Structures are given as structure tokens and as C-alpha cells.
Amino acid sequence: MEVSVESINSAVETLISSANTYFILLGAIMVFAMHAGFAFLEVGTVREKNQVNALVKIMTDFGMSALAYFFIGYWVAYDTTFFSSASVLAENNGYELVKFFFLLTFAAAIPAIISGGVAERAQFYPMLVAAALIVAFVYPFFEGMIWNGNYGFQAWLGETFGAEFHDFAGSVVVHGVGGWLALGAIMVLGLRKGRVKDGRLVAFAPSNIPFLALGAWILCIGWFGFNVMSAQTLDGISGLVAVNSLMAMVGGILTSMIAGRKDPGFIHNGPLAGLVAICAGSDLMHPIGALITGGVAGLLFVLLFAFIQNKLRQVDDVLGVWPLHGICGAWGGIACGIFGLESLGGLGGVTFMSQLVGTLTGILIATAGGFLVYKLVDSVSAIRLSEEDEFNGADLAIHKIGSVNGD
């Protein structure tokens, strides 16, 4: 029996296509699992009377994000729709469909990030509408600029500064944008009742450290899918990304432990800060550069979160999502332009100015978009709970059930 060259090539192509589909599907599942981490991190941080609300918000935000991204957001970012026949969509083992699933889990992380900042005082449906608007329009606008070359922004950076903006797994595109969007929502909502007492700011302690720790562990594990599988194909997989993610996580743990004086909340957020920061340059940096990047991020989170809780009256960021994602994400984008350079042990192909300009552009779009969306929604329907509902807690006020049954 003769086997033609064409049949061999066809079999190899099918194998490669199916392997790539399976690879990115595993990545999508790992990042999807991270949303459980977002949920438990918030559950462990908020007061007990708001724990059910935290769980429900993350789940429903994902559902609303999926619809917004499927019908609008993915088209805005990549000029791709899903209105073809199923036979067309299933071509190449359905790789493009699974790629959408993978990128959806990134997009849906934006409302999950915002949720932690606005916890304990936000109305349910207005925030859900705001999440849909952000995932449909604001996030994919910047996502398409960076990851699809839309509007000529990347080409301009390359011509002006010698390299395009590099963000391998979303330090700025996902985390930075999410954190700065959250700042707008936090400012519009204002401080929780009881945060100011006798003219001084009062911090609320986390309600459940084991749940907080569980959320952090789930996020840390899933993050290796977030970063490594951002290659999107098997031939692009790199052990450098995995080890750099590991070293940045370790750097964040150790600096948050030292700066946070063994505080469990800081220690469990420290690795997340490191992982946020390494996303951008995880495929370029030397592991020692990644360690430094993560260490600086852990330190930034501790110092800024403490400042917000104790000194900054204008910002009531419950989980510290602005410093964790917004500031550490921005640091990651800029750090890629430092430790990604060949002169500092990186693989090169980046410039500091491109990373700086790209990062600042993301901050500008996200901040403006956050204030615009939340002001718009608030003008139509109040996004803040009444004083009575806030006092009783979002669990009873919105969901009519507490996290613990006393019967």
C-alpha cells in the first residue's frame, strides 16, 4: 500500500491543528478556573454580610461578559464574527472558536478585577450593565490596538521608537486596563459607610483568611495557563515563560512578606502582584530580571495598599485592585522595556520608550473609559446601594440570603 506525500502532509497538518486546538483549550480552561480564584479572594476579603454577593457577581459577570464579547467585543478587537455556518466555524478542528474562548477568559477578567474594588456597596444590575459595556467596547478597543494592530498605533510606535509595544500576556492590556477601569468605578461609588470615624480612616479586616488564601492559590496555579498558553500554538510554547512566571511570583511573595510584616493578606496578594507584572515580558526577560520585576511589584502593592487604606480618603478600594492590577500592571509594561533588553539579559526586540508610551496609552484609555461608563450608568440608574442596604449587607439586600444558615 503506497502512501502519498500529500496524504502524509495532510495527516501532519491535521495533527498540528488538533494539537494546537487542544493546547489553547487547556489554556482557556485554566484561565476560566482563575475566575474561581477571583471569587474566593473577594469572599475572603469582604465582610461576612457581603460574601454571597461576591460569589454571585463573579459568576454573573462572566456570563454577561461572554455575551458581550461574543456578539460585539471580539468583532471590535479582531474584526471577526461568528455568524458563519457551523461547518465553517468547525474548520481546523474549531481552533478559531477555542481561541475566542481563551481570549474571552481574559476579557471576563476585567469585570472580575473591578468587582473587588467596588465590593460591599454596589447595586447588582447597574454594575452588570457596566461590565457588559466595558467588555463590549472599552477593553476590546485597546486590546485590538495592541494585539491586532488596529488603528496603526503599533506601527507608529515601531516607526517612532524602533519597536512595537510588547505585552505578551496582558500586564497592561488585561490587568493594567482592569485596574484603571476599576479606579473610575471606585471614585464614582465613593467610600463605604463606616470608613471614616472621628475624622480618621478605618480599615476593615478580611473576614476569612482561608478563603482569601484559597483564592490566591487558585489564581497562582491558573496563571501559568494565562502566561504560558498565551503563545496560542504549541510551536510557540516556551519554558522561559513558565520559569519567569515562577520567579516573579516568588519575588512578590518575599517582598510582600518583608514589607507587609508577615501579614497574611499581603503575603497572599504578593505573588499575584508579581504575576501581574511579569505577564508583559515573561517571554523576553532573564529569570533574574523576572525575580526583580516581581519583587518590585510585591513591594509596590504593599506600600500603595497601605497608603490607600490609611491615608487616601478619595479611594476606597476593598481588595486593592488599583495597586495590584493597575499599578503593578503598568510597572510590568515598563519593566518589559528594561529587563527585556539584551543588555540586561533579555531577548531584546523592545525599547523603553515604546513600553512607556504604550503603557501610558492604556492607562489613559482605561481611566477615561471607566469614568465615562460608570458615570453614564449611574446617571440612568444609581449604582450604589442605599445606606440601609449597605448597612444590612449586599447578601440580604440583593440576594435575600446570608452566607451562613443559622438554623
In the numeric block, the cell 497601605 is attached to: 306
**Pick from 216, 240, 198: nearest CA to 116:** 216
What is the end-to-end Cα distance of the chain in Å, rounded? 74
DSSP, collapsed to helix, strand or coil, labels residue 215 as: helix
pLDDT mean across residues, the chain: 96
Using pLDDT thresholds of 50, 70 and 90, give the confidence band for residue 407: low
Q: Which amino acid type is present at position 330?
A: A
Mean pLDDT value across residues 191-214: 93
**CB 137 within 8 Å of CB 72:** yes
SS (H, E, C) 343-392: HHCCCCCCCHHHHHHHHHHHHHHHHHHHHHHHHHHHHHCCCECCHHHHHH
Tell which CATH classification among 3.40.366.10, 3.30.300.90, 1.10.3430.10, 2.40.30.170 matches the domain 8-399: 1.10.3430.10
pLDDT, position 48: 96
CB neighbour class for 276 (10 Å; exposed up to 12, middle 13-18, buried from 19): buried
C-alpha cell at 331: 510597572
**CB atoms closer than 10 angstroms to residue 404:** 9
pLDDT, position 2: 61
**CB 398 within 8 Å of CB 122:** no
Q: What is the rounded CA–CA span in Å between residue 122 and residue 249?
A: 31
> To the nearest whole percent, how much of the chain has pLDDT over 70?
99
Q: Residue 3 pLDDT > 70, yes or no?
A: no
pTM equals 0.96
Per-residue pLDDT tens over the stretch 365-394: 999 999 999 999 999 999 999 999 999 999
Per-residue pLDDT tens over the stretch 301-332: 999 999 999 888 889 999 999 999 999 999 99
Per-residue pLDDT tens over the stretch 82-140: 999 999 999 989 999 999 999 999 999 999 999 999 999 999 999 999 999 999 999 99
| Packed helices 328-339 and 352-380: angle between N→C axes, nearest 10 degrees | 160
C-alpha cell at 360: 501610558
Q: Which residues does 327 contact at the CB level (< 8 Å), separation at least 6?
A: 179, 300, 301, 304
Q: Residue 167 pLDDT > 60, yes or no?
A: yes
Q: What is the rounded CA–CA span in Å between residue 131 and residue 303?
A: 29
Per-residue pLDDT tens over the stretch 249-269: 999 999 999 999 999 999 999
Mean pLDDT value across residues 68-84: 97
Mean pLDDT value across residues 131-153: 98
| Packed helices 264-278 and 287-310: angle between N→C axes, nearest 10 degrees | 130
Paired with 201 in beta bridges are 196
Q: Residue 337 pLDDT > 70, yes or no?
A: yes
**CB 229 within 8 Å of CB 23:** yes
**Pick from 296, 300, 301: nearest CA to 319:** 301
